[in-house]
Amino acid sequence: MTMYEMTDMQYQAVYNVLSFALASMMATTVYLWFRSFAVQDKYRSAVLISGLVTFIAAYHYFRIFNSWVEAYSYPAGKLVDGAMVVEGPKLTGVPFNDAYRYMDWLLTVPLLLIEILLVMNLDAETYSEKAKALGLSSALMIVSGYYGELTVSGNLAPRWICWFVSMLFFVYICKELLIGLAAATESESDAEIKGKIRLAQVMTVISWCTYPVVYLFPMFGITAAQAVVGIQIGYCVSDIISKCGVGLVIYQITYAKSSKGALLG
């Protein structure tokens, strides 16, 4: 793999964004775990799992942040009149391990899909069928992407093949979220709840669109320091929307269903 020199500003930008994502994940985790007790028992698992997703992501952001810090080091500065102009960080030789993200996704993406299924109007059989199909295809989508990442050197053909295989599963999952599950979404009697379930589905699909685009960067020769900064910011924004954002919407859905269920009961 190739590592790039960063200006002080570029290095700090990635550092701050990774730290921001870590803080967002930790805070969302605590909120969701505490609030899992505020919803009816049958929805508690969904809120708990939403918190598990951000918990797992927090762990990986902690590792990614540390890996970023280990990849660069600041040279001793030179004092001029009692002040020191900071020089840009230098590469240490330790590679920045971004592949942690794949380990994260392998756990969190199936859980994210399951947390959406758990708050929908699905009978046990449909739930189990959809959970298996979506869980398996999301795992295959990520494994295929990771395999493509491993083939880093010169020849980009395997990376293209992996991208296409991955995209097959990607398109299938998006289709299921937007169309396959539409009937179940429409069957919600409460307009507010129906709107929020649709919101969770759409947020997931839109925030996911970053990943296949970023994956193509090396194919278009976008590999400089500037690109690394852009990729890290893009990944962080997508992760915050799809994990913290969707997790909080899931909580709102279960909370609304719990209060309305209580009124009916």
Residue with Cβ nearer a second copy (96 or 170): 96
| d(C-alpha 128, C-alpha 254), whole Å | 19
| d(C-alpha 96, C-alpha 225), whole Å | 13
Q: Smallest Cα–Cα separation from 2: which of 73, 100, 93, 65?
A: 93
Long-range pairs of 96-101 with CB within 8 A, sequence gap ≥ 24: 96/3, 96/67, 96/68, 96/71, 97/63, 97/64, 97/67, 98/64, 98/67, 99/146, 99/149, 100/60, 100/63, 100/64, 100/67, 101/60, 101/64, 101/235
Task: Tell the smallest beta-carbon distance from residue 33 to a second copy (Å).
Answer: 7
73 has which bridge partners?
90
Task: Tell the smallest beta-carbon distance from residue 34 to a second copy (Å).
Answer: 5
Q: Summarize as ranges the residues that interact with a second copy (CB under 8 A).
A: 1-5, 8-9, 12, 15-16, 19-20, 22-24, 26-27, 30-31, 33-36, 38, 41, 44-45, 48-49, 52, 55-56, 59-60, 63, 74-77, 79, 82-87, 91-95, 97, 99-100, 102-104, 106-107, 150, 225
Residue with Cβ nearer a second copy (76 or 179): 76
Task: Tell the smallest beta-carbon distance from residue 8 to a second copy (Å).
Answer: 7
Task: Tell the smallest beta-carbon distance from residue 77 to a second copy (Å).
Answer: 4
Residue with Cβ nearer a second copy (36 or 138): 36
Residue with Cβ nearer a second copy (55 or 163): 55
Amino acid at 79: L
Amino acid at 135: G
Task: Tell the smallest beta-carbon distance from residue 20 to a second copy (Å).
Answer: 4
Residue with Cβ nearer a second copy (4 or 127): 4
| d(C-alpha 32, C-alpha 50), whole Å | 7
